[in-house]
Structure 1
Amino acid sequence: TRRPRSLGAVGRLALPLLLIVVALSAWTTIDRFHSSPERMGLPTALGVRADTSLGDLATRALLERDPQVAAAYPGVEVAALVPGQTATIALRGLGTHREPYPFTLAEGRAARGPDEAVAGQGLLDLLHVRVGDWVRMTVGDQPQILHIVGRSIEPENAGRVISTSLDTLRANDPDLRPSLYQLRLHPGADPDAVAARLATAGRGHLDVHTVANPADGLSPLRAVVLGLIAILALIGLIELLTAIGGTVREGERDLLALKAIGLSPRQITAVTVTATAGTALGAVLLAMAVGLPLAHWLIDAQGRSSGIGAGIAQGPSPVLLLLLGTAAVLGAAALAALPAARAARHRLADTLSAVA
């Protein structure tokens, strides 16, 4: 008769813990956009547009002269039309075959050969294609046929972006010249400070701007996540107190038997505390086992629907999960200690009347 109640207590306590794991995963994903943008589709921190008066070699030399600039990738971005669609997509040519642009890939491989490209999830959904297909588009009056060999994480333009190397676009249009440059900075560099120095060094010939991070608009959600975690923790605390009360009441029925076999009140208390801690441990394990895959699925589904694409979900660190589980188990044991000790010291007559 106790097993269904024990399983029910584990399930009720696991639910708020599961939702806390999902909330922590959302927090970690948002934080990863800031701490590791190169893993979230933002390998460069600055974008530069140069006047036509500056040549490609002079512009790259000026940009790479800054000690905090690790690499400058020349590129172009044009609007392209695809068959059956009235809206345009973004066709980008970034980097060269000798210095390829470090796209963040979630599927497939990098575009290395001629006519190879990577595309965002939004473009794949728009054209109803997948990695491995060929797509045809028109830039002005020039046709362009590309082989999609990978899916990149694209935070811009709702993912409706197809990217290849600048050399591939030049093969179709030899007169094509870079119109923008993407700058990868050394770790720890301040993008605003580098942008100010480059603008001064360019003497009005460079338009330098920081690359927009989609997580900047999600920063207020951190307060919402914190509030949600606090509410879920309160719900979990209430469920835990309910489970402790049930365990103590059930322990009173066994009190006569436990005292008859010679257990002291301290040992009887340890039995109840261990039972409560075991219930909390089972709830923690269930929450971790279900919550982590659920969080990844929910976050990737949101990324897929927004066009960024799946592959952005990040789970909490093992240390944080261990702290959460340890706090839940130790907290359950600590909360159960006092009522269990009181129940273990009941007089024999009180125990007989409670059983009756």
Structure 2
Amino acid sequence: LAAALTVRSEQPAGPSDAELEETLARVPDIAAVHPGAEMAALVPGQTGTITLRGLGTARQPYPSAVVEGRAVDGPDEAVAGQGLLDLLGVRVGDWVRMTVGGRPQILHLVGRTIEPESGGRVITTTLDALRERDPQLRPAFHALELREGADPRAVSGALATAAGATLEIRETPNPADRLEPARGVIGALIAVLALIGLIELLTLIGTGVRDRGRDLLALKAIGLTPRQIGAMIVTAAGLTALVAALVGTTVGVLSGSWLVDTQGASSGIGAGIVQLPPLPVLLTVIVGAVLGAVAAAALPATRTARRRLADSLSETL
């Protein structure tokens, strides 16, 4: 999210737009101020409305998260969410005609953005483009970009001090916060899958030791020490876990990306929201799986290696 704060004037007879923007620009941690307005628009062939948003100016457009095409950089240009593209059956590069307050508005779609609001049925252009249709249009709010590392709460306090009680200051909600309830479920699912994998590994080790009783007997007969036999069993478990972790991680990354993009496209947000875990994280998962397998195999390997030759011979026969 480019804008961390949204500011609205609580008093109709408050400061003018120029005075308000000057006040906002004086706060040290504010990097950019983008005036904006939202309104409902009608499109041909549809009974419902879409959201038409004017944000930023032609000189300083709002830096939307563009995942296809490019950002707004000229007159009558706009970016839209996947939901709007699906609703109208258009693609990036097409022109879209809509009606706002009985007046036509024609925009050129130059990019697709990540748009979690209104099912992705949002088209965003500059405020200057909307003023071509309605020269009297005033900003309904201002989106504030903060400098890197700035605390939104601290900036909100500074704004409240600078502007008094004339402004309504809100932090821009992050759509990713909606996933917080699912994190616990995902964590529990990972723990259950890890437990299942551990049980399967222990079963594999026990079955392998039992089925290879004759091999272990032969290894002892030719002079292998208990430590060497135990190391062989642990190595086999570690290699099995390594192959499983490599295959599982690769398949998980590919299928996970596809699933998230498919869900995003079907919900209107659009494909392109996948962020793969960093390579060090994936390597840590693989190394952790191998180390866990080695630790789980250490005790069965030690017990098997210490068994007497007579016990192994009686079980094998």
Q: Structure 1 length as normaliser, TM-score?
A: 0.83
Distance 1:243 1:215 in 2: 40
Distance 1:335 1:154 in 2: 46
- Give matches, 1:285-324, under 5 Å: 285-324=246-285
Shift of 1:260: 4.0
Aligned partner of 1:210: which letter?
E
Q: Please, which of 219, 233, 236 is the counterpart of residue 194 of structure 2?
A: 233
Residues 115, 333 of structure 1: CA spacing in aligned structure 2 closer, same or farther, 3 A cutoff? same
- Give matches, 1:68-147, under 5 Å: 68-147=29-108
User: 3-state DSSP class of the match of 1:89?
Assistant: strand
Aligned to 2:316: 355
User: 3-state DSSP class of the match of 1:254?
Assistant: helix
- Give matches, 1:136-285, under 5 Å: 136-285=97-246
Distance 2:316 2:16 in 1: 93
Structure 1 runs of 4+ aligned residues shifted over 4 Å read none
Shift of 1:43: 1.0
Aligned to 1:47: 6
Q: Percent identity over the alignment? A: 61
Distance 2:153 2:117 in 1: 21
Aligned partner of 1:257: which letter?
A
Higher relative contact order (CA 8 A, sep 6+): 1
Q: What is the CA deviation profile of residues 285-319 of structure 1, one whole-angstrom value per residue up to 9, with x for unaligned ones?
A: 11111001122222222222332222222222322
Distance 1:341 1:194 in 2: 61
Contact 1:117 1:149 in 2 (8 A): yes
Shift of 1:66: 0.9
Query: Aligned residue pairs: how many?
Result: 315
Distance 2:70 2:134 in 1: 25
Contact 1:131 1:151 in 2 (8 A): yes
Distance 1:177 1:61 in 2: 16
Contact 1:117 1:150 in 2 (8 A): yes
Distance 2:94 2:177 in 1: 34
Distance 1:205 1:169 in 2: 26
Q: Which ranges of structure 1 fall in alignment gaps of 5 or more residues?
A: 1-41
Contact 1:97 1:165 in 2 (8 A): yes
Shift of 1:142: 1.1
Distance 1:263 1:150 in 2: 68
Does 2:289 match 1:328?
yes
Let me know the Cα RMSD of the aligned residues. 1.9
Contact 2:58 2:75 in 1 (8 A): no
Aligned partner of 1:242: which letter?
T
Aligned partner of 2:295: which letter?
A
Shift of 1:155: 2.2
User: 3-state DSSP class of the match of 1:219?
Assistant: helix
Q: Which has the higher helix share?
A: 1
User: 3-state DSSP class of the match of 2:130?
Assistant: helix
Q: Structure 2 length as normaliser, TM-score?
A: 0.92
Distance 1:250 1:344 in 2: 15
Aligned partner of 1:245: which letter?
G
Residues 97, 139 of structure 1: CA spacing in aligned structure 2 closer, same or farther, 3 A cutoff? same
Residues 60, 273 of structure 1: CA spacing in aligned structure 2 closer, same or farther, 3 A cutoff? same
Aligned partner of 1:54: which letter?
P
Aligned partner of 1:270: which letter?
A
Q: Which moved more, 1:320-329 or 1:185-194?
A: 185-194
Q: Please, which of 303, 306, 309 is the counterpart of residue 342 of structure 1?
A: 303
Contact 1:72 1:184 in 2 (8 A): yes
Aligned partner of 1:49: which letter?
R
Q: What is the CA deviation profile of residues 151-190 of structure 1, one whole-angstrom value per residue up to 9, with x for unaligned ones?
A: 1111222211101112222233333332221001123323
Q: Which moved more, 1:51-60 or 1:239-248?
A: 51-60
Contact 2:21 2:33 in 1 (8 A): yes
Contact 1:251 1:272 in 2 (8 A): no
Distance 1:348 1:209 in 2: 75
Distance 1:235 1:133 in 2: 51
Aligned partner of 1:179: which letter?
A
Aligned partner of 2:71: which letter?
A
Contact 1:252 1:343 in 2 (8 A): no
